[in-house]
Structure 1
Amino acid sequence: MGALSNLSDFFLYGCCSNGFSSGSLSSLRKFVQKWKKRLTNKHEFLNYWAAEGQKLIVVSIWFFINIFLFTEAFIRYFYYISSITVPTGVQKVPFFVALARGFGQLLNFNCALLILPTMRTLLNVFRSLKFGSIFPLDKNLVFHRYLAYWIVVCVIGHTLGHYLNYACCWQLYDSATTPLQACWWNKFGTTGNVLCVVMFIMYAASAKTYRRTKNFTVFWYTHHLFVVFFVLLLVHGKQFWAWFFIPMGLYALERIMRNLRGSEMTIVKRVHCLPSRVIHLELEKPSFRYESGQYCFLNCPMISQHEWHPFTISSAPEEEFLQFHIRCVGDWTNTLMDVFNPAQRPTVEINKPTTPDGSDYLIRVDGPFGTCAEYVFDFEYVMLIAAGIGVTPYSSLLKHFKFRLDAASSGQAPPLKIRRASFYWINRDEGSWEWFSDILNQLESENPDFFDIHTYMTGMLKAEDVKKIMFASSEYQNQSSTKDNVQQSGKVDIMVRALHKYEPQSSDEMRLDRNDIIVVTEQDESGWWMGTNTTTKQTGLFPANFVVKVDHVTKMVDSTKRNFGRPNWDAEFSEVRRFVEKNSPSGKKPKVGVFVCGPAGLSKQVYSFAVDKSKNSTVQFVFHKENF
């Protein structure tokens, strides 16, 4: 360890000669220092291994296979070219041929491997096996993407080696009168150059900033050039068929199974267009069984017969319908919004939607497919962190927890292994809270010891909204001499949510359904309040003990867990760690599952705190990231 530490110090001083002052630390030195701590500090290493061990094992195996394949091909062809005789006047450069062949063998291996991470059915099979947990299956698309990056490097090396060889030895190729002709004169040169053009088109349309805007359809169709890509590879590479034979067979089976699963039409039972351009779809429950947190691919024949898009299931397995919450941000999803809400009204609810000819709306569903959310049940304590529409997998999980808790309390199911679920939802748009506020209120009120729910509003609020929140808050009301003073001076109405159903007993009373939102216009000491039901628009009296106060933004119970601004992850992780340490037996190192579904910046931030808060602690935070 001492030698390793000295070596890293030497490297740092060599690269960063201006010393170790904190103000001048470069990103390179920070990177080296981070790895120095991981490799020289036992606790740092164990924490990092717990978080990234699976990925490191797979990447290391892949790396050494690449080293072996390149070295073997390079040496073999170098000695082969060195041993052959060429005509007088022709320069023989075995290094260029060996370089091209070495990278060519890497292309055989990596191009054959490239298609495997996209086989969703194969990944599901691996998840169901006992040894499947040793693979980082949730990183499949990340692995696919980095394989594609590495293939570009291999293509550059392979092409450069061949072009330099043609420049030196073009006379060896019949009918070639110039080096440029030698590059194109046979099928290998032609297919190789065309492959580069196909790759350029596919890679350009796959750029994250391009495909995640309004260009997903372009990405979808250009990515199907992979058929042309692999056909050209089979013609170009003499040995590629041997590498590609098994992956090609598996992919053919995958496509057959996808077509069989996706051929079944599912009836749309209900559509609810929510604020912030979110569509809540309720579908007739298909024949397959699914677990909480899984996702499906949806196809709407009215939009496109061949275009499929992945969406997380937001309903629990115990619910009557299959539900999806879809945020409309791309071309396909915006078209879906136009189909059900052509007038672009803020909210629309359609029960049993039908097409213009009176028939049912039909959607094809392919799935379900697993995600890291399935590992939630391996922990006694979990932190579920969502940003915006990333709440959908956790909506399914939280509702499933509720069903399981109720079943366990009645003796119909074994108790959950999970003892506490801490949920953090970060939203920028005020209207987004309406997606799941009903569910969250129910969970928080009925199982407060199990569900620990925190909300964060990060978007800008209007001055009127700030005024409503401040004057209607419990803290302000408790400090006021009378509740009437608040309403008379501040002119701010109190907002409440119905906890129970209430049937009116007289003409001046109004009916309440569970989770109705009421704006209170008058409060009375007798326990009867006057207000307007925002759902039914009815005005009347109602009993105060049937409602609970909520804030104006989230429509959730007013408490210290309703926050404005970004989360303080240091405080949140510390609080969870204290709770777990207090409620866990001594001598045991409990694990807390940390699950994130949100943008990359949020995931990186949470990951760093999960690793940091596991240091010198009896609690281990295990990080999982949903693909978002």
Structure 2
Amino acid sequence: MLSCGHQKEFNNILFNINKLNFYDVLIPGLPFGLADSNEDGRITRDEIQELLVLSAAANRLSKLKEQAEEYASLIMEELDPENLGYIELWQLETLLLQREAYMNYSRPLSIASGENWQRTWILMLWFLTMACLFIWKFKQYKNKAAFQVMGYCLTTAKGAAETLKLNMALILLPVCRNMLTFLRSTRARFFIPFDDNINFHKMIAFAIAIGIVVHVGNHMICDFPRLVNSSPEKFALIASDFHNEQPTYMDLMVGVEGVTGITMLILMAFAFTLASKYFRKNLVKLPSPLNRLTGFNAFWFSHHLFGLVYILLLIHGSFLFLVHKWTQKTTWMYISVPLIIYLLERSLRTGRSEHYSAKIIKVSNLPGDVFTIIMAKPNGFKYRSGQYIFLQCPSISPFEWHPFSITSSPGDDYLSVHIRTVGDWTQELKQVLNNDNGSPCTIGRAKFKKLGDVNSKGLPRLLLDGPYGAPAQDYRNYDVLLLVGLGIGATPFISILRDLLNNNRAVEDQMDSNTETSISGDSLTSLASSSMASSSDNKKKSKKAKVANFYWVTRESGSFEWFKGVMDEVAEMDHKGQIEMHNYLTSVYEEGDARSTLITMVQALTHAKHGVDILSGTRVRTHFARPNWREVFSKVASKHPNSTVGVFYCGMPVLAKELKKLSYEMSQKTSTRFAFHKEYF
């Protein structure tokens, strides 16, 4: 074994080498020469095991540390076939230099996108509409007698009010999920960037905030004081609008217009504040009991205050100082249709969630604070890969709904989701779905009574709402896919991979069936008709056959357990190599780095002998560090010239910027067009 002094020296080398190439370290015999404690040029199995333990520690691979003895024996088996009990140092160095021979198993396993111009024309239309409404109302009030009393303060306030009416109507539409899901399946997807619905919702909210400041500010600071302090001669111009009695400032504030306006201002300021990133994501630390104002729950509940805001808005718009004809009170005209759509949307969600009561089949705990729920697919429930659902657990909260990507395929007879415990609700859900001893539970359908009941053990029921459209569901529009998942962001793509695998399998089965039919035909006519049908079917099926490149980037090796079954299934069933899977583990130093070279060699040896990757436990090779995305795009472009590649990303916003930029650059520099779609979690 390594002496204490050698261990410290080895650790210093591993942690202080700043991305040295393996060959730079190997030439002087370091760090592997340190294993030769007596400097006789021989290394024992125990010394190799110690090297593996230290390398695993440097790369934060706890599982590999536990299996160091097994992998040390594998190296000895490879280099010491005569069972001498040791190997020569030069043998280990030679094996490491020739490791590329073992690494050839990364074979395929069995312009910016249109959203740029879509986003541009939508925003231009929105800005132009607001500008036109503001100017129209501004000029309208400039020609009124009230302008002589209150001046441009009045025209500015009224112009801002007109934009507020528009935006209070528009802000409802991006959150009408059923409507958006339907529109995604129509030609509207070619003109409207549905992927940006939440961003547009936030932009409208920002415009509303600006409109409120301009509208309320001009009223309270400018035109109200001018009205109150106007001369009798000037007030006479508009005296009929105030029952021929000049109001005081307090009269204006305590009237219906003032009370509803101030109340809306307070409610919206409260809701806007709790919807900000700092409060919504618990970045603000408040003392108890004010800490209840942070987090998702506070954001969700405060948003429901807008129900009261819309009632007040209708009242506010019906009592105007200077407008008396109902045809000129246009607030209800703006918001009635969007409000009806939204109310129908909420009613549909409520009714459907009661109908789609999920019957849990199995709950499994996975590494990395992740658990999966497998449910029986409700009757009539149809969805597409890439879509998501909302789940509610009434035993936790009868009001909270949380979104999760569907990880099962539409062709499966069950419904599955993978959930990471990142908040109070998911943590509570994990607890109620597990037994008292913390072990996962398997629940049979027979344990459930009629819809809405729970079994005798008190296991909770889950309500299901959906499915809803997401960017990933548009994968069917492309023949070549580049799927990039960051951590738990891989979930929408697992369903896509399952669906592609099922489709490819169906194509193969159809071809086999057509071949048998052709051979066993009773006549030339039946043979010809069978061939024509086969050709037609194959053409239809071929349009659905996709080439997918899946890149999964995670920092914890335990994450690979989440979708191990899918990766093994793809490796076994993808005979034509239409699906390439690439796993990247960012906690390990990049390949070629001295700190990960020994692990790379063990990885290659293990796969060559057993066909299994030591880190993922599957046939899919695990790469180290982060992908070189420019090389990834270049490789896809060279393999698929003159094609349109659908780039789908799900993860944190930081990587999305890089992928979007590369999609644009590579679309300009190559004949391949990359259409970028993003989804954040």
TM-score, length-scaled by structure 1 = 0.74
Give the whole-Å Cα distance in 2 for the aligned partners of 1:468 and 1:186: 79
Aligned partner of 1:283: which letter?
Answer: M
Provide the residue aligned with 2:263 in structure 1: 194
Provide the residue aligned with 2:651 in structure 1: 598
Q: Is the CA contact (8 Å cut-off) linking 2:253 and 2:259 kept in structure 1? A: yes
Q: How far off is 1:377 after superposition?
A: 1.2
Give the whole-Å Cα distance in 1 for the aligned partners of 2:215 and 2:275: 23
DSSP-derived class of the 1:350 partner = coil
DSSP-derived class of the 1:549 partner = coil
Aligned partner of 1:617: which letter?
Answer: T
RMSD: 2.6
Question: 1:455-481 CA distances to partner (integer Å, 9 max, x unpaired)?
Answer: 1112369xxx9698345221xx4xxxx
Counterpart check, 1:108 vs 2:165: yes
Of 372, 393, 398, 2:471 maps to: 372
Structural mapping, 1:198-347, within 5 Å? 198-213=267-282, 215-238=295-318, 239-264=330-355, 265-287=357-379, 288-341=381-434
Provide the residue aligned with 2:40 in structure 1: none
Structure 1 residues 105 and 344: CA distance shift in structure 2, 3 A: farther
Counterpart check, 1:400 vs 2:499: yes
DSSP-derived class of the 2:612 partner = strand
Q: How far off is 1:81 after superposition?
A: 3.6
DSSP-derived class of the 1:290 partner = coil
Q: How far off is 1:597 after superposition?
A: 0.5
Question: 1:524-567 CA distances to partner (integer Å, 9 max, x unpaired)?
Answer: xxxxxxxxxxxxxxxxxxxx7xx52312x2223364xx222122
Provide the residue aligned with 1:444 in structure 2: 571
Structure 1 residues 594 and 549: CA distance shift in structure 2, 3 A: same
Counterpart check, 1:76 vs 2:165: no
Aligned partner of 1:618: which letter?
Answer: S
Structure 1 residues 161 and 404: CA distance shift in structure 2, 3 A: same
Provide the residue aligned with 1:34 in structure 2: none
Unaligned runs of 5+ in 2: 1-110, 230-234, 236-241, 283-293, 319-329, 448-453, 512-536, 590-594
Provide the residue aligned with 1:556 in structure 2: 618
Counterpart check, 1:574 vs 2:644: no
Provide the residue aligned with 1:455 in structure 2: 583
Counterpart check, 1:146 vs 2:203: yes
Question: Which protein has the larger Cα radius of gyration, Structure 1 or Structure 2?
Answer: 2
Question: 1:559-617 CA distances to partner (integer Å, 9 max, x unpaired)?
Answer: 4xx22212211111111111112xxxxxxx32111000011101111101111111132
Question: 1:367-403 CA distances to partner (integer Å, 9 max, x unpaired)?
Answer: 1111122221111111000011111110000011000
Of 426, 434, 439, 2:553 maps to: 426
Aligned partner of 1:362: which letter?
Answer: R
Q: Is the CA contact (8 Å cut-off) linking 1:267 and 1:360 kept in structure 2? A: no
DSSP-derived class of the 1:357 partner = coil
Give the whole-Å Cα distance in 2 for the aligned partners of 1:49 and 1:359: 50
Structure 1 residues 290 and 51: CA distance shift in structure 2, 3 A: closer
Structure 1 residues 468 and 278: CA distance shift in structure 2, 3 A: farther
Question: 1:82-114 CA distances to partner (integer Å, 9 max, x unpaired)?
Answer: 666xxxxxxx33200000000000001110111
Give the whole-Å Cα distance in 2 for the aligned partners of 1:198 and 1:616: 51
Q: How far off is 1:356 after superposition?
A: 7.5
Number of corresponding residues: 494
Structure 1 residues 442 and 360: CA distance shift in structure 2, 3 A: same
Question: 1:218-251 CA distances to partner (integer Å, 9 max, x unpaired)?
Answer: 1111111011111111111233111111112212
Q: Is the CA contact (8 Å cut-off) linking 2:645 and 2:673 kept in structure 1? A: yes
Of 125, 131, 134, 1:61 maps to: 125
Provide the residue aligned with 1:390 in structure 2: 489
Structure 1 residues 374 and 393: CA distance shift in structure 2, 3 A: same
Provide the residue aligned with 2:51 in structure 1: none
Aligned partner of 1:431: which letter?
Answer: G
Q: Is the CA contact (8 Å cut-off) linking 2:390 and 2:466 kept in structure 1? A: yes
Aligned partner of 1:321: which letter?
Answer: Y
**Highest RCO, 1 vs 2 (Cα 8 Å, sep ≥ 6):** 2
Question: 1:285-331 CA distances to partner (integer Å, 9 max, x unpaired)?
Answer: 11211111111111111111121111111100111210010111112
Provide the residue aligned with 2:103 in structure 1: none
Q: Is the CA contact (8 Å cut-off) linking 2:645 and 2:672 kept in structure 1? A: yes
DSSP-derived class of the 2:611 partner = strand
Unaligned runs of 5+ in 1: 1-46, 85-91, 478-493, 497-543, 582-588
Aligned partner of 1:378: which letter?
Answer: N
Give the whole-Å Cα distance in 2 for the aligned partners of 1:607 and 1:324: 28
Counterpart check, 1:472 vs 2:602: yes
Q: Is the CA contact (8 Å cut-off) linking 1:421 and 1:450 kept in structure 2? A: yes
Give the whole-Å Cα distance in 2 for the aligned partners of 1:176 and 1:228: 31
DSSP-derived class of the 1:473 partner = helix
Give the whole-Å Cα distance in 1 for the aligned partners of 2:502 and 2:560: 22
Give the whole-Å Cα distance in 2 for the aligned partners of 1:100 and 1:458: 54
Give the whole-Å Cα distance in 1 for the aligned partners of 2:569 and 2:177: 35
Give the whole-Å Cα distance in 2 for the aligned partners of 1:233 and 1:620: 47
- Percent identical among aligned pairs is 29
Q: Is the CA contact (8 Å cut-off) linking 1:124 and 1:370 kept in structure 2? A: yes
Structure 1 residues 93 and 298: CA distance shift in structure 2, 3 A: same
Give the whole-Å Cα distance in 2 for the aligned partners of 1:416 and 1:469: 42
Structure 1 residues 301 and 233: CA distance shift in structure 2, 3 A: same
DSSP-derived class of the 1:449 partner = coil
Structure 1 residues 247 and 285: CA distance shift in structure 2, 3 A: same
Question: 1:395-421 CA distances to partner (integer Å, 9 max, x unpaired)?
Answer: 000011000000001117723444410
Q: Is the CA contact (8 Å cut-off) linking 2:112 and 2:675 kept in structure 1? A: no
Give the strand-richer structure, 1 or 2: 1
Aligned partner of 1:252: which letter?
Answer: L
